[in-house]
Chain A
Amino acid sequence: MKRQSKASLAVCAALFAGSILAGPASAANAERPAPPPLPPTATAPDVRKVTPPGRAQAPQECAAAAEGEAVTCVKPLKKQLKPATGKQQALTPMTVQPLPSWCAQAGTLPEGYYSATRYEACGNWPYQLTVVRKVKGSQTVTGVMEFTLSGFHYGAQNQPTVAHQITIIPSSMTGDAVGATASATAQCWQNCAAGSQGFGTQTLTTGNGSSGEFFYNTTAITPGAVGPTGSSWNITFKVPSASNSWTLGSSSLNVRCDTALPNNASTGCVNPDIAPYIQYQGFDSFGTHVKAAQDSGLPGALSGAPLHRLVNQTLRDLNRNTACPQNSSYPRPTGYSCDEYPFASTSEGAYTGGGTARTFPWCQITLSAPDSTGPVGYSVCMINLDENNYAGSVLNNVLYAPMRVIDADPFYVHIA
């Protein structure tokens, strides 16, 4: 196991010093437990680059200008633009949310790609608007605007509403591109009701961000409901001298809203393609077992296949009873309880996942058959009761509930 830092140990020792075992002095002395593990800082904001599956736009060709005519078009720009530092001019009364710091750190991304966490997705995409005029038979670029389009959409753990905002930030404008305007409209895809939105016609100026935001509500609000959804903006650019306008689409990632968390009447919306993970640190007994189980080939490690949540109570009980049967089969040493991996609350658990048991030399369990190996099967081990309980508690209270991990959702377990 990774050793705790001195600072962390000091915190743990101080916390434990606050615990007093009253009662027989001999018992108090004999039963003084080890310091507790670090707070299970557990989870999941995990920034990954993702593209909306199946929603890539067919590239549009810039139209050729007729003699004397000017036309405009917008294309992705294959270079980094300086991050905009100018003020944002959101339409009153809307005030767009500041972009998360991790969004800026990700820099500009290829068109349509996002950096995303379980609840938020953000992208900064560089574009170039050009104005082409046909003069004496030749197509001449008479104006250029380079700009960054920022898209940011977010849901929340206990809210049925999703926001999708965009900001256009020109970094340079020349020639006929000066005076360019943008207007935009937004829509949501399915299982939703569109709410307020705002991005009226705005004149674009260098260094200033023009923003709009769109809100929609999920219709997946009945108990057990799960509603895939998402949204997109159509942004129309015009320049004063051009005969045409250009519409640029910008879609969100797939979003999923649900009212399907066990024990929780709330509705919330996540980015379902971002599988969360829980990180356990300082769980000596539990962590050693889970790490050994993962190293033996069982799924759930960040580098491997995920686990999948199992909500069905009957199947979870079967998983637990298969892995850790009655005391007579696997006697529990005092102060220990039986730990199973993959967890009973996953479809990879002992009954639903299939396979046979494996254990490790320090686990105080004697199996009646040879250890299983590889990705199928399960591992059992006697570990400290308090640590086992706490690990189980945070699995729900730090991962399942806050990250809205519903039935069959994938997730990972990381032992730090």
Chain B
Amino acid sequence: MIQPAEFTISAWSHLVDLVVDPPQPKDPIEALKAAQSGKTPPTLRVPLVFTGIYGGPIHLTIEVLDHEPDTVAPGWEDVADVSLVIPEGKVHFNGPTGSDSHEVGFMSAAEAGSYRARLHAVGRDLDYDVVVEESKERHLVQFWKAPFANTIVLANASSVSKSLPRFVAMWQSNL
């Protein structure tokens, strides 16, 4: 299961990715043949965290819930619920194209499936579209298992958040 976590991670191109590496056959020859014949599931890479800064550190908190929260957590400018399917595998958050990676657990076959992610952000407009050295932007991602559903924007105070629904539709169309 994804484990709760709190860390600083470097964004690039306004993004931090959720990455799930599928388990591989233990025998290296079987693993190679499975990969060559397309029998190995591909690595999942979802640009789940959409930042205001172009690049640099953000503060990211990960929470895993039993069910949809009863209320929206206070203190966040932007809040949106999105759906994604998380397969079996090692789960981590990566700064795209960089060297920053944080592992947050392993999704078993029983745990894999459709999830809802509530994306919270504050500070997206502070250093919009620039590379920063210090973090002013915070994000919280809450996961709970739920059937696939439409994207719902619960708060969109920042100007950046206006672009989120179309962006989510883009990456969902490629999953």
Q: Do A and B bind each other?
A: yes
The reply to whether the CB of B115 lies closer than 8 angstroms to some CB of chain A is no
The reply to whether the CB of A173 lies closer than 8 angstroms to some CB of chain B is no
The reply to whether the CB of A102 lies closer than 8 angstroms to some CB of chain B is no
Q: Measured between alpha carbons, how far is A195 from B32 in the docked complex, in Å? A: 13
Q: Are B130 and A327 in contact (CB under 8 A)?
A: yes
The reply to whether the CB of B71 lies closer than 8 angstroms to some CB of chain A is no
Q: Are B169 and A392 in contact (CB under 8 A)?
A: no
* Among B95, B151, B152, B160, contact of A263 (Cβ-Cβ < 8 Å): B95
CB distance from B139 to the nearest CB of A (A): 15
The reply to whether the CB of A16 lies closer than 8 angstroms to some CB of chain B is yes
Q: Are A23 and B97 in contact (CB under 8 A)?
A: no
Q: Measured between alpha carbons, how far is A402 from B42 in the docked complex, in Å? A: 9
In the complex where A40-B174, A163-B36, A393-B15 touch, is A21 in contact with B94 (Cβ < 8 A)? no
Q: Are B159 and A334 in contact (CB under 8 A)?
A: yes
Q: Are A19 and B151 in contact (CB under 8 A)?
A: yes
Q: Measured between alpha carbons, how far is A161 from B164 in the docked complex, in Å? A: 41
A120 — nearest CB in chain B belongs to which residue? B36
Q: Mark A257-299, 1 if CB is under 8 A from B, else 0.
A: 0000011101000000000000000000000000000000000
Task: Classify the interface of chain B: helix, strand, loop or mixed.
Answer: mixed
The reply to whether the CB of B31 lies closer than 8 angstroms to some CB of chain A is yes
* Among B14, B21, B36, B163, contact of A33 (Cβ-Cβ < 8 Å): B163
Q: Measured between alpha carbons, how far is A22 from B165 in the docked complex, in Å? A: 10
A95 — nearest CB in chain B belongs to which residue? B33
The reply to whether the CB of B168 lies closer than 8 angstroms to some CB of chain A is yes
Contacts of A392 in B (CB 8 A): 12-15, 96
Contacts of A335 in B (CB 8 A): 159, 162-163
The reply to whether the CB of A332 lies closer than 8 angstroms to some CB of chain B is yes
Q: Measured between alpha carbons, how far is A2 from B169 in the docked complex, in Å? A: 21
In the complex where A154-B36, A335-B159 touch, is A18 in contact with B169 (Cβ < 8 A)? yes
Q: A16-B169, A389-B13 are in contact. List 18 more A-B contacts (CB 8 A).
A: A18-B150, A18-B151, A21-B165, A23-B156, A40-B174, A120-B36, A158-B35, A159-B28, A163-B32, A313-B10, A332-B129, A345-B12, A385-B129, A390-B47, A392-B12, A392-B15, A393-B17, A397-B17
The 6 nearest A-B residue pairs measured at CB: A392-B13, A156-B35, A397-B45, A33-B166, A386-B167, A39-B174
- CB<8 Å pairs between A and B, sample of 9: A19-B151, A33-B166, A215-B29, A263-B99, A321-B130, A324-B130, A332-B128, A388-B14, A397-B17
